[in-house]
Amino acid sequence: MNAVTHRDYAFSGDYVRVSMYDDRLEIQSPGRLPNIVTLDNMRSTRYSRNPRIARTLVEFGWVRELNEGVKRIYSEMQALFLNDPKFSEPNSAAVRMVLENNITSRVLRRSESMQDRVGDAYGSLGEYELAAVQWIYGKGKITTRELSSLIGKGLTLSSKTLRGLAAKGILEWHGNSKNDPSQFYSLPK
């Protein structure tokens, strides 16, 4: 979406290219970086080459807000335990972004980070507890119904598992009452 928003439409006959490989996704957009934006300052400098396109995408709900694209790319890559995106201008007529997806590194970083966050209790977690914590680590929160579907067991066991993790201080419960349909669990802040 960011490439479509900020490409240089003066380049006719060229288009945004998305190339998918086993270990990365490459997106190449026609035109150099706009105006005052450089490879070094693009994470903090805000400039829209095509403000009407950007505003239209916001109004359609395809973009959350103006001037969030590059920051969002970095934060979503970090949230998924992936390396930061790599930007380049390979031929002075395009901007290329490479998003690496090394699944082995991602699993190792996620596991190490989860162990650090959960602490000494990590090694003593059972299969269903680990499944719940891993889900929350990737998605941010979990409901009893989601855990039930994930582990293929009933709601009673799922509820008991999540309550047990909350009692250990590993998870935090959010809700108004035991019967609150919108209740969920997350990692404590």
Q: Taking residues 90-115, what's their average pLDDT?
A: 74
Which part of the chain has CATH 1.10.10.10? 104-186
Q: Taking residues 154-167, what's their average pLDDT?
A: 93
Q: Would you identify the CATH topology of the domain 2-101?
A: Heat Shock Protein 90 (3.30.565)
pTM of the model: 0.54
Which part of the chain has CATH 3.30.565.60? 2-101
The pLDDT of residue 27 is above 80? yes
pLDDT of residue 116: 65
The pLDDT of residue 35 is above 80? no
Which one has a higher pLDDT value, 119 or 176?
A: 176
Average pLDDT across the chain, whole number: 83
Q: Taking residues 88-98, what's their average pLDDT?
A: 89
Q: Would you identify the CATH topology of the domain 104-186?
A: Arc Repressor Mutant, subunit A (1.10.10)
Which one has a higher pLDDT value, 62 or 87?
A: 87
Q: Taking residues 124-150, what's their average pLDDT?
A: 87
The per-residue DSSP string of 33-88 comes to PPTT--TTTTTT----S-HHHHHHHHHTTSSSSTT-HHHHHHHHHHHTT-PPPEEE
